[in-house]
Amino acid sequence: MNLSSGGLPGHPAIPEEFRLLCMLHNIGATTTEKSMSIEEVTQWTELDVEVLRHLLQKLRQLGYVEFVEVDGTKKYHVTPVGITKVMTLYS
């Protein structure tokens, strides 16, 4: 199972925000210390900044992502609940 597949044949596509959550997890943004700014995440994911902001906001509302402010910059990371959510895809 993987993200490039868009889900399983005959089933709905994996939601966009969930794809982003998996990417954040795989690039290592899983703790406060490893949080990443929107610019850093953009470099990895090549997503449009506005799209990224919107998806991160959605993931925050769901409790899967949090941010910390470092020198006035918001840096995002996956929460423990978010990590477990990601693992449901691969387990």
Partner 1 sequence: MKIGMLTWEYPPRIVGGIARHCNDLAIALAALRHEVHVFTLDFPGAPAFEVTEEGIRIHRVASEIGHPSFLTWVLLFNHFIEKRIADVGQEVKFDVLHVHDWLTAPVGIAFKRSIGAPMVLTMHSTEHGRSGIHNPDSSTIDGIEWWANYEASKVITTSGSMKSEICDHFRLPWEKVEIIPNAIDSDKYQGSVDREAVRARFGVQPQEKLVLSVGRLVPQKGIEYLIQAVPSVSWRSPESKFVVVGEGWYRDHLQHLAGTTGQAWKINFTGFIPDHELIALTKSADVLVVPSVYEPFGIVALEGMAAGVPVVASEVGGLAEIIEHDKTGVLVYPRNPDSIAWGINHVLSNPDHAGWLSQNARKFVPKAYSWKVIAKKTVKIYREVAR
- Number of residues forming the site for partner 1 (CB under 8 A): 34
Q: Does 23 participate in binding partner 1 (rule CB under 8 A)?
A: yes
Q: Does 57 participate in binding partner 1 (rule CB under 8 A)?
A: no
β-bridge partners, 76: 36, 67
Q: Does 91 participate in binding partner 1 (rule CB under 8 A)?
A: yes
Q: Is residue 42 packed enough to be buried (19+ CB in 10 Å), middle (13-18) or exposed (0-12)?
A: middle
Angle between helices 49-62 and 16-26 (to 10 degrees): 90
**Number of CB atoms found within 10 A of residue 66's CB:** 15
In the list 50, 69, 71, 88, the residue contacting partner 1 (rule: CB under 8 A) is: 88
What residue ranges bind partner 1 (CB under 8 A)? 1-5, 7-9, 11-12, 14-15, 18, 22-23, 26-31, 44-45, 79-81, 83-85, 87-91
